[in-house]
Structure 1
Amino acid sequence: MERLLSWMNAPLIVETLNVMAGLFVLAVGFGVFSIIVLYIIDRTQTKHAIRRNYPVIGRVRYLFENLGEYFRQYFFAMDREEMPFNRAQRAWVYRAAKAVDTTVAFGSTRDLRPAGTISFVNTAFPTLDADAASPSPMVIGPYCRNPFEAKSFFNISGLSYGAISKPAVQALSRGAARAGCWLNTGEGALSSFHLEGGGDIVFQIGTAKYGVRERDGKMSDQKLKDIAAHENVRMFEVKLSQGAKPGKGGILPGPKVSAEIAAIRGIAEGQDSISPNRHPEIDDLDDLLDMLSHIRAVTGKPVGFKLVLGDGAWLDTLFTAIAERPIEEAPDFITLDSADGGTGAAPQPLIDYMGMPIWESLPLLVDARNAHGFEDRIRIIASGKLINPGDVAWALCVGADFVNCARGFMFALGCIQALQCNKNTCPTGVTTHDKRLQSGLSVPDKSTRVYRYHDRVVNEVCMIAHSCGLPEPRLLRRRHARITTASGISLPLSEYYERWKKGEEPALDARPSTKLRVH
């Protein structure tokens, strides 16, 4: 042994061990000192009762509370119970975006018994592949100087640069161009990143007029013309309200307002970007219709508006006002958002309690439009939690002409529903401006996933239509879907909504939590 120690330079080993022992004692001492300091801090502070009563140990509670958002979906939630999107919904999007198998085995985990459950009416003689047709394009704004022939019935909803990151916008732009669908800019103005893919763009005009505002906040005709000069900017959408916060303007926290975003929006860097809760110059329906007509005249392109419906009775007033004007002045489209829509920062009372959900508001809007004879003039775009093929097919059955989706495409980009959208700490780089976190989002890879997700949704909506005996999805009608009532017996949507309008609607359920169950 002595020879071995001599050969291994025993004095050096002893010295190393002594140093390591010294470091260990120092670390232990520092740890004990830190615990003592934390103990004193916790016992003397008065803001947190848990930390005051359980010094140091009480801090673990806040750690677990924070981590719970991340781990709940992996260890504790069942496939179909998590909110706002359950694991089954998200998993389908992930598989579709990655172009892997989306089939499942051993039966569905979707409960078909609850009231409100939607099912589709298959035929004994489905459409053969040889007889199937590609989804037909649809013209929006036939009276415009530059009408828009929209190729896809499934498109990307408003996602502002600022609310989402630069690489996320780039991936959406390239993916949308490849998929042949449009990309809505959201209210955060038009950036070069929206344009770089070369696909169709819908420019959204929010209440703050980002991108088309003068210094005093009023809308600039010259800036409208500059935006319209981009050939691939196909339409303009005036946002009255959105699903996450009806009655409240857009909210972009100051930490997410970078110099670049501030320049694009025309606001101050690093300060909260808070939009007015409505357009100051729109006090009533006449003002709204005047603004739409003005934007159409200036840009020569289709113009519509987006809203969350709060009361179905208002719709008759809306369409009566439209009917009193020349047909050319009617809105070219109406985008209907759901009360459970929205991706970014929003006050909880609004996100939880304000507005009508899409399953209730969409049939009201479609029926009101058709009753006034505008079904061939005003297109309806449905939006809000419609991320899977069944959701999209339901909206087409009810009468929507198009479906917009934001969070489905965010999942395609890699979103894991970490609920960090408003904190600039998104772990996947989708909604953060932290360069380190953004580096995980590969634009070439994610743009391909955006394309694949769109392609799979369209193909599987087509599959549903074929099972109903139709050559393509635009032929889906209410008779092609059924809804389960409280008795457990389902009715065709056509019959159900007719009874509903007459006040004879069989209650879905007495519980206030009942909702449409397409998923």
Structure 2
Amino acid sequence: MEWLANFIHFFFQFSALLLILMLGFGVVWLAYLYWVDIHQTKHAIRRNYPIIGRFRYFFEHLGEFFRQYFFALDREELPFNRAQRSWVYRAAKDIDSTVAFGSTRPLNQTGEILFLNGLFPILKEDALPPSDITFGEGFARIPYTTNSFYNISGMSFGALSVPAVQALSQGAKEAGIWMNTGEGGLSPYHLQGGCDIVFQIGTAKYGVRTQEGMLDEDKLKTIAEHPEVKMIEIKLSQGAKPGKGGILPGEKVTPLIASTRGIPVGMASISPNGHPDIRSIDELLTSIHRVRQVSGKPTGFKVVLGESGWLDDLCRAIVQRGLEYAPDFITIDSADGGTGAAPQSLMDYVGLPLKRSLPLVIDKLNEFGLRQRIKVICSGKMINPSDVAWAMCVGADVAVSARGFMFALGCIQALQCNKNTCPTGITTHNPDLQKGLNPANKTTRVKNFAHNLMYEVGVIANSCGVAEPRQLKRRHAQVINSDGIPRPLDEIYPDTPLGWKPKTSKQAELVE
């Protein structure tokens, strides 16, 4: 029996040694994975949360097979559902965006859009690139011409991190689109990529403010002298918080951000809820004219539409004072905008959604014969091709998006934007979290997202029988009504006919 005792002894020694080797191998393997994760630059989550971050993809993959057991399905998450986000992720990575086994989109849900394909779609060889559009022609010393109909909406430096701004700027340059600075001022990182820039003047006038918070014309001239700055946008309100100014927590106000904005370091940056020097339609038009004269660049304003009677007053005042006082563009933001931190009462309950406000503004400008003079930009959950194609049908000249490009940068909708704890490094100034966002890699994703979205809007346009997206009209779409029946968009919002004539003697007097 001695041999059996020796065998058992040997077996346990061997097993112990094997276990030690396996544990050692496991430790080495985990160390290797840790080293790989912190040095790779493609995935911010893995870089900021090495090893643990890998489980995200495993559970995401399992979700495809067990989705019937999960409460939140493809189209049940908010503010953006999984289907919307997945399309952006695939577009940004430039991978196959086709889906199998039919649409998961409900085709009888109130408010859903259906595009009307033509019997003879435009052949690929007959399709045209997007047509050019010019802002400020005949009124600004330096008008701006572009063919891009999808651009980066306002996101402030401060709300966004340095690598995020760098990636957006460089990606916008490669994609041939513009980038809006948001109200936080013009930083060196906006200029670094060399893209076209829309400089936004918010209610606090960051970057162009006097010590009293009023407009400093000398600072505005300096900003406008940058050749990258193509247009100026005066922000009256934004979708996340109409009626309230920007909110930047004190922990995000670093020395660089403070110097860019012209405010104290470490102090919360709370903008006024309105411009102290713009309290009427006449003052708005005077400010637009003043900014355009000082800068030489096309100038417009951004607003969330709520009470809409002022549109008539605006149009009448423009007709009376002269087209030189008109804005070169109006940016209509939707009530469901949301990149900025905001009180829930404003985020959820104040302002009109874009599906109501955009056609209202287009029709009002047509009514007063101002549509040719004033371009219309729209914003608000414009992250998928269908959203942008709908806006083109209604009459928008350009669509812009903030959150779409955040998703392109790698945003996972963690809802940490206002806490300086963004796990992907996009909206944080924590260096440990920022290191996960590699601008070189994300630049390509920004470019891919913009190109693929505009390409697919073109696909929709060609299917509808027009050669390029700006030829889309209201007759090319229908909207599901409350009975689940598609209703033509041009019945809901009739197009203003060509050769429109004033309907009343008062309108005729104003137009003349």
Equivalent position SS for 2:218: helix
Displacement of 1:421:
0.1
C-alpha distance in 2 between matches for 1:140 and 1:346: 31
What is the one-letter code of the residue matched to 1:96?
A
Q: How does 1:165-184 map to 2 (within 5 A)?
A: 165-184=161-180
TM-score norm. by structure 2 comes to 0.83
Displacement of 1:342:
2.2
Is 1:91 the equivalent of 2:86? yes
Q: Name stretches of at least 5 consecutive residues in structure 1 with no aligned partner.
A: 8-12, 14-66, 500-519
Map of 2:328 onto structure 1 = 332
Q: Out of 150, 154, 160, which is 2:150 matched to? A: 154
C-alpha distance in 1 between matches for 2:340 and 2:423: 15
Q: How does 1:362-441 map to 2 (within 5 A)?
A: 362-441=358-437
Displacement of 1:485:
1.4
TM-score norm. by structure 1 comes to 0.82
**What's the C-alpha RMSD, in Å, of the aligned pairs?**
2.1
Map of 2:483 onto structure 1 = 487
Displacement of 1:226:
0.2
C-alpha distance in 1 between matches for 2:384 and 2:361: 22
Map of 1:216 onto structure 2 = 212
Map of 2:136 onto structure 1 = 141
Displacement of 1:130:
0.9
C-alpha distance in 2 between matches for 1:101 and 1:487: 35
Deviates more, 1:311-320 or 1:147-156: 311-320
Displacement of 1:263:
1.1
Q: Out of 115, 118, 125, which is 1:123 matched to? A: 118
Deviates more, 1:315-324 or 1:380-389: 315-324
C-alpha distance in 2 between matches for 1:291 and 1:342: 27
Q: How far does the alpha carbon of each residue in 1:204-231 deviate from its partner, in whole angstroms, 9 at most, with x for none? A: 0000010001111111100000001001
Is 1:132 the equivalent of 2:127? yes
Displacement of 1:395:
0.4
C-alpha distance in 1 between matches for 2:411 and 2:372: 37
Equivalent position SS for 2:376: strand
Displacement of 1:3:
11
Displacement of 1:169:
0.2
Q: Name stretches of at least 5 consecutive residues in structure 2 with no aligned partner.
A: 11-15, 17-55, 64-69, 496-512
Q: How does 1:68-83 map to 2 (within 5 A)?
A: 76-83=71-78
Q: How far does the alpha carbon of each residue in 1:183-212 deviate from its partner, in whole angstroms, 9 at most, with x for none? A: 000000000000011110000000001000
Displacement of 1:232:
1.1
Q: How far does the alpha carbon of each residue in 1:91-149 deviate from its partner, in whole angstroms, 9 at most, with x for none? A: 00000000000000110000001121110010110000111100011000011100000
Map of 1:318 onto structure 2 = 314
C-alpha distance in 2 between matches for 1:426 and 1:3: 59
Equivalent position SS for 2:479: strand
Map of 2:345 onto structure 1 = 349
Map of 1:456 onto structure 2 = 452
C-alpha distance in 1 between matches for 2:368 and 2:492: 21
Task: State how many pairs are aligned.
Answer: 438
Q: How far does the alpha carbon of each residue in 1:132-167 deviate from its partner, in whole angstroms, 9 at most, with x for none? A: 100011000011100000220000000111001000
C-alpha distance in 2 between matches for 1:272 and 1:121: 50
What is the one-letter code of the residue matched to 2:113?
I
Equivalent position SS for 2:230: strand
Contact 2:420–2:430 (8 Å) recurs in 1: yes
What is the one-letter code of the residue matched to 2:119?
A
C-alpha distance in 2 between matches for 1:247 and 1:488: 35
Displacement of 1:488:
2.5
Identity of aligned residues (%): 60
Q: Runs of 4 or more off by more than 3 Å in structure 1?
A: 1-4, 73-76
Q: How far does the alpha carbon of each residue in 1:392-441 deviate from its partner, in whole angstroms, 9 at most, with x for none? A: 00001001000010000000000000000000000000000011111110
Displacement of 1:321:
1.4
Map of 1:49 onto structure 2 = none
Is 1:225 the equivalent of 2:207? no
Q: Out of 233, 250, 264, which is 1:237 matched to? A: 233
Map of 1:105 onto structure 2 = 100
C-alpha distance in 1 between matches for 2:445 and 2:219: 34
Map of 1:191 onto structure 2 = 187
What is the one-letter code of the residue matched to 1:78?
L
